[in-house]
A and B are shown apart, each in its own frame.
Chain A
Amino acid sequence: MARNLTFHIFRHNPADPASTPHMDTFVLNETAAMTLFIALNRIREEHDPGLQFDFCCRAGVCGSCAMVVNGRPALACHTKTRDLPESVTLLPLPFFKLVGDLSVDTGVWFREMYQRVESWIHTAKAFDPSKKEARMANATAEAIYELDRCIECGCCIAACGTARMREDFLGAAGLNRVARFRLDPRDERKDADYFHLIGDDAGIFGCMGLLACEDVCPKHLPLQDQLAALRRKMAGTALRRTLPFFRDVKKIRKK
């Protein structure tokens, strides 16, 4: 028998002077193959046309619709109601600035992140339209794509213990971005360059290894492996910078 679902939804419209943060309740009859995308649109069309939430692709690839679903950051579009209890609590993602109700401002944060980690290929080579493309091993291309798959939904940051404590933390999404460019042979940056970007507590050394980022990542990115590898590389880079002795050891070993 179809269930009646009760949705408890966070409400606040900062543009309305009369609005104060509170929870509203809506009841919907569950339908076959219902997702939170379907449910929220029905609530908006049938109950409260002012309800704010974000969807774009509604197919799990654009990252717009991340929200906290019964305590856990998730993409609403591919959350099926049949996997949820009859009572569903929806909150906006923490950490990001609230736009209204379930809608938060991820765009500005992510744009600042690209500028911070210089999220582009650093190369001295100029593009020559008369030449064939530079070759690359297919395995390398696939490995880059694997990390390039982040959709910037913000779930990892919303679930992050460090991000709760310091708002300048790059988070798994930012650090994964660095890992993606480190892997790319077209990018000529060295670990010493990356160290300047992420070699502090707002970067890789802020990560406490709590693993929540990977737990909630809707694209199942191998975030912890990447963060652990980065931390080792950056720690090594730090040691080499601070302790000349390490350089000498390396030289001796080479000999």
Chain B
Amino acid sequence: MQTIYTDLLCIGAGLAGERAAVEAAQAGLGVICISLVPARRSHSVCAQGGMQAALGNCAMGEGDSPDVHFADTVKGSDWGCDQEVARLFANTAPIEMRRLAHWGVPWNRVVPGVHTYYKGGKPFKKQEKKEHEGLIHARAFGGTAKWRTCYASDGAGHSVLYTMDNRAAQLGVAVHDRMEALSLIHDGHTCLGAVVRSLRTGELVAYMAKATLVATGGFGRIYRHSTNAVINDGGGHIAVLDTGVVPLGNMEAVQFHPTGIVPTDILVTEGCRGDGGTLLDVNQERFMQIYEPEKAELASRDVVSRWMVHHIRQGKGVPSAYGDHLWLDIRHLGQKHIRSKLREVDEICQSFLGIDPVRQLIPVRPTQHYSMGGVRTDKTGAAQGLKGLFSAGEAACWDMHGFNRLGGNSLAETVVAGGIVGQTIVEYIQGAEVSISTRTVADAVQRDQARIDALLQGRNGMENAYDVREAMFDVLEDAAGIYRNGADLERGVARLQEIHARARRIALRSNGLGANPELALALKLPGMVRLALCVAYGALNRTESRGSHTREDFPERNDRDWLNRTLATWPDGADLPRLTYEPASKVWPLPPGDRGYGGGTIIPATPTTAPAAGE
């Protein structure tokens, strides 16, 4: 077995991982990123719409500031976020956008003069100022008071990831691709690296590091219908949860995006609605303005997704072989706009649906999209529970998103958090002395080797990995979707516990040699079911509705009892996670209030539970 030593081990080479890696490499530290795929195939590349940052350059962004961005983010989170983190984020985002411009991102720029834009299907005029010519432009996104989302056509993720990977290559950051972390190496107090399986040869490699960063993105692939890339299966979260000491935060907070296309669940960007696209029902009539007169299609994602499902339940969905859906209409934006600023959308429609969005409607429905939950860290990115372990990006519950993330805030978070956490890591490594016991390493590798050997020798049982995965999909679909209730969740948790047992009895039907995909799934599936249990069990216990977590039997947002964050740890050998709770925020510059969209009632905090304002 090979052992590799480095200063910083980044698990994941998407935007958050590479941004932190760049920070460490600039400080002269040795960095290795391991990645399931070549760095530029990371899921960051799929982000279309853009990054929120209060630059205030464009006409509709005038008067914007980090204060307004902060307020939008906290409201968007339904007061579930850490307000210190949201503040840090809003203040840092403009600097990071400019840094990206310096590194090579071709952001769209302000073009002075009078321009037409669309809102609710109707044209309006705006005038861009001559003195702002050539500065970074921004587009509208849901839940924002200003146009604030910086964009490069609708390939912002692609442009930024390629630029970041260029920067990483320039600084000599090593990316070991086709490598998968199976478990973290730790002694109960300090994280020392990870046991990694080569997806070329199947061999195990021990990576030892002074600091380890988990930046593996979301875990959407525990759901059957997800906009996520197929690599987003929660591998990083599983390794963290399996330490038994590091908690995952708010796992029940799962975002559904309003516009996944039917049937393939590929995302078309919120920029479609930001640029003036509308949602239509079976009669080709707009409906969002009925439910949300003020924000209409541009309410936050949780709100729009719920109203879409509600409208379908009213019998207004479009029947199809894949179930009912609704329409997204961007035809009025015109050919020039669609073929340039919504170019990926155009390609997706043409390639996957065989339709032309300039002339035809796009079939859409809400689809699992984003994991607000993740590895619980403090505001510097250090994980709770283990020294030397850090997390950033979607993998983390750093927690600027609370129970609902605003579009354009996650892509921005990857680079903002990557930069901040990268700094934390540099300071940590410069002051850290790590002593690594070869016994600890050998034990960790031996545990994973034993799991592999048991699968190769067929000693576990007779279950088929794909059948077990289907069973998990079914349960999450039924119990932990957009609308949830106690009875379904209780049944779901019980069924997931049975599925968890089945996942440990998987038998391979192939020989398992080399980069065998069945072995990879068999190794991961028990952990995926544990993540599913964290989601469902957390949702069962949270008896309120907040952001994306909607309980039909508890429709109020309950600030009296639930102004907190769920922490889930998984003790060794347990069949359920252990849940504890901590206050959602340490400070409350913006005390809990009405979001201004989404309706619903609020049970206010009582004098004894109310957070103090303005701390």
Contacts and interface: CB of A to CB of B under 8 A. Distances in A.
B101 A57 contact: no
A237 B133 CA distance: 34
Interface residues of B, number: 72
Contact of A57 (B46, B111, B134): B46
Contact of B102 (A111, A134, A135): A134
A252 interface: no
Contact of B344 (A15, A35, A54, A61): A61
A142 interface: yes
B104 A62 contact: no
B159 A100 contact: no
A248 interface: no
A45 interface: yes
B491 interface: no
B347 A60 contact: yes
Interface string A34-59: 01000000001100111110111111
Contacts of B434: none
A141 B518 contact: no
Contact of B38 (A129, A152, A184): A152
Interface stretch (B68-76, B296-304, B348-356, B549-557): B348-356
B583 interface: no
Interface in A130-171: 131-138, 140-142, 144-145, 148-149, 151-152
Interface stretch (B169-177, B184-192, B604-612): B169-177
Contacts of A48: 510
B151 to A, nearest CB: 10
Interface stretch (B261-269, B328-336, B369-377, B389-397): B261-269
Contacts of A151: 40, 45, 158
A141 B99 CA distance: 16
A138 B137 contact: yes
Contacts of A137: 109, 134
B513 interface: yes
Contact of A61 (B46, B111, B511): B46
Contacts of B178: 99, 105, 107
Interface in A94-141: 99-100, 103, 105-108, 110-111, 114-115, 118-121, 123, 125, 127, 129, 131-138, 140-141
B169 A145 contact: no
A14 interface: yes
Contacts of B152: 141, 145, 148
Given A16-B511, A120-B166, A138 B108 contact: yes
A141 B137 CA distance: 11
Given A120-B167, A141-B106, A152 B40 contact: yes
A50 B40 CA distance: 26
Interface residues of A, number: 66
Contact of B169 (A51, A115, A144): A115
A205 to B, nearest CB: 25
Given A107-B38, A129-B95, A58 B230 contact: yes
A50 B510 contact: yes
A80 interface: yes
Interface string A71-94: 000000010100000000000000
Given A78-B351, A142-B340, A145-B106, A114 B95 contact: no
Interface string B469-488: 00000000000000000000
Contacts of B169: 111, 114-115, 119-120
A148 B159 contact: yes
A119 B110 CA distance: 27
Contacts of A152: 38, 40
A48 B466 CA distance: 12
Given A60-B352, A99-B178, A141-B152, A121 B513 contact: no
Contacts of B43: 56-57
A107 B37 contact: yes
A125 B102 CA distance: 9
A125 B98 CA distance: 13
A29 B178 CA distance: 32
B515 interface: yes
A24 to B, nearest CB: 13
Nearest to A219: B347
Nearest to A149: B155
A164 B101 CA distance: 38
A49 B517 contact: yes
A249 interface: no
Contacts of A186: 102, 104
Contacts of B340: 142
B452 interface: no
A119 B202 CA distance: 31
A78 B321 CA distance: 20
Nearest to A115: B169
Interface in A10-46: 13-16, 32-33, 35, 44-45
Given A49-B510, A50-B517, A119-B169, A134 B101 contact: yes
B517 A44 contact: yes
B198 to A, nearest CB: 10
A59 B466 contact: no
Interface in B125-166: 133-137, 152-153, 155, 158-159, 162, 165-166
Given A64-B37, A123-B102, 15 more contacts: A50-B518, A52-B515, A52-B516, A57-B45, A59-B264, A62-B45, A78-B352, A105-B178, A107-B175, A129-B95, A133-B101, A136-B101, A144-B106, A148-B106, A187-B104
Query: 5 nearest interchain CB pairs?
Result: A15-B514, A135-B134, A50-B510, A107-B38, A49-B518
Interface of B: 37-41, 43, 45-46, 95, 97-99, 101-104, 106-111, 133-137, 152-153, 155, 158-159, 162, 165-167, 169-170, 175, 177-178, 200-202, 229-231, 263-264, 266-267, 321, 340, 344, 347-348, 351-352, 354, 465-466, 508-518
